[in-house]
């Protein structure tokens, strides 16, 4: 019986992990300008994004490239995590976000080589803060049923079916 309960618990954790995944990318927008400060409208661009660990010039733990164009207002929109991975070893999912500070660098190639547009520290957003304080989670099992998962203060995990009204 104990072995069966362990197997059921392991299966439950597997389902919870698969169903409770956060999006695998985040959106980034920037306004492209020419050297004279004017808007770079409708311009084809190669954009490289890098995520540095520790400091703005720290180890690059992830890098990807995007082929895009600015719109009439000079705006580019990227989904970081969905570009072409140019990291030698890591994927976007391999980043251990709990391992300290991370910095986001954008580089643009307008046909003459990549030029850095700057590096900024990545900060948490309210969406990410939700995961820190979640006291119950709703997940859908493979058969389509909705479950409420709760973790008590003593670490006890419970699950109850949610009836949809």
Domain ranges of the chain: 26-123
Q: How far is CA 28 from CA 51, 75, 116, 165, in A?
A: 13, 10, 16, 37
Higher pLDDT, 80 or 15: 80
Q: How far is CA 152 from CA 36, 107, 156, in A?
A: 59, 46, 5
pLDDT in tens, 98-152: 788 999 999 999 888 999 999 999 987 655 655 555 556 778 888 888 888 887 7
Taking the C-alpha atoms of residue 132 and residue 56, their distance in angstroms, rounded to an integer, is 25
User: Residue 109 is encoded by which pair of tokens?
Assistant: 């190639």
CATH architecture assigned to 26-123: Sandwich (2.60)
pLDDT in tens, 32-60: 999 899 999 999 999 999 999 999 999 99
Largest CA distance in the chain: 74
0.95 surpassed by pTM: no
């Amino acid at each position: 019986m104990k072995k069966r309960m362990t197997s059921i618990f392991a299966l439950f954790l597997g389902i919870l992990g698969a169903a409770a995944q956060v999006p695998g990318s985040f959106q980034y927008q920037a306004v492209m300008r020419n050297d004279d400060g004017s808007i770079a409208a409708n311009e084809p661009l190669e954009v490289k994004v890098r995520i540095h660990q520790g400091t703005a010039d720290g180890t690059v733990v992830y890098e990807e490239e995007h082929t895009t164009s600015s719109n009439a207002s000079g705006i580019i929109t990227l989904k970081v995590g969905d570009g072409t991975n140019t990291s030698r070893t890591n994927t976007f999912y391999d980043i251990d976000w709990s391992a300290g500070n991370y910095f986001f660098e954008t580089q643009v190639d307008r046909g003459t080589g990549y030029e850095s547009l700057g590096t900024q520290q990545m900060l948490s957003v309210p969406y990410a803060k939700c995961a820190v304080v979640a006291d119950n989670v709703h997940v859908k099992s493979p058969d389509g049923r909705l479950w409420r998962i709760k973790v008590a203060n003593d670490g006890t995990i419970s699950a109850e079916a949610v009836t949809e009204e």
